Structure formats: structure tokens, C-alpha cells
Amino acid sequence: MAVDSRVAELEARLRRIAAELKAAGLMDDVEIFPAAIDHPPLAELSGRQREILIRLLNAQRVSLIASELYLSPSTVRNHLTTIFTKFGVHSQAELLGLLRSWR
């Protein structure tokens, strides 16, 4: 099987999986997120940083994020500091303003 056809088959499978996740309501949080291809700092985020950022965009506070992810608040703040650095901002307000301006 040629590489191109394998890639096309994988893309088709991923689209079907995404459609099923969306139908189940599991993709609702992802839709508020700007496309990583359009904004390189998003592609640099780890899975945990991405999860924290999505929760932040959903107006969750650090204490709630920490509780729901079974992390300490200081660990969540450390992740946020790393996220701020990647985006070149210094606060949650700056980060949220930047991300909301991308929509």
C-alpha cells in the first residue's frame, strides 16, 4: 500500500472518529479553541497545558481546574506560567484577550 493511500485512509478514519465524538458532545470544548495551524504557540502546548487552557477559556478558576484534574493549584499555576511564556503574555487576562481576538 502506498504511503499516500495509507495517509488518506488514516485521515478518513480520524474524520469518522471526530464526527462520532462531536455527535456525543465530547468535542464541545474543542470548538472554542482557535486552530493550532493558524496560531503556532497552540501547537507547542502539551496535552495538559491544552486541557488547562480549554478550562481557562471556559471561565474555570485555578482552584477548580486543580481539583478536577487532581493537581495542586501551584501545579496549575506552573502550567499557566509556561503557557504565558509560549504566548508572550504576562497574565490570564492578556492570554484570554489574545485568544479571544483570534476567533
Q: How confident is the model at residue 89 (pLDDT cuts 50, 70, 90)?
A: very high
DSSP line for the chain:
--HHHHHHHHHHHHHHHHHHHHHTTTTTTGGGSPPTTT-HHHHT--HHHHHHHHHHHTT--HHHHHHHHT--HHHHHHHHHHHHHHHT-SSHHHHHHHHHHT-
Mean confidence (pLDDT) of the chain: 82
Q: Are residues 86 and 41 in the same domain?
A: yes
Q: Are residues 79 and 41 in the same domain?
A: yes
In percent, how much of the chain has pLDDT > 70? 81
Q: Are residues 11 and 44 in the same domain?
A: no
Q: Are residues 55 and 88 in the same domain?
A: yes
Q: Are residues 39 and 83 in the same domain?
A: yes
Q: What does the pLDDT read at residue 98?
A: 85
In percent, how much of the chain has pLDDT > 90? 34
The vertex-96 CA angle with 37 and 58, nearest 5°, equals: 90
Q: What does the pLDDT read at residue 35?
A: 62
pLDDT 10s digits, 37-79: 667 788 888 989 989 998 888 888 999 999 999 999 999 999 9
Q: Are residues 4 and 40 in the same domain?
A: no
| Structural domain boundaries enclosing 72 | 33-101
Q: Is 60 exceeded by the pLDDT of residue 31?
A: no
Q: Are residues 3 and 47 in the same domain?
A: no
- The whole-angstrom separation of Cα 94 and Cα 69 is 24
Q: Are residues 44 and 84 in the same domain?
A: yes
pTM of the model: 0.65
CATH code (residue 54): 1.10.10.10
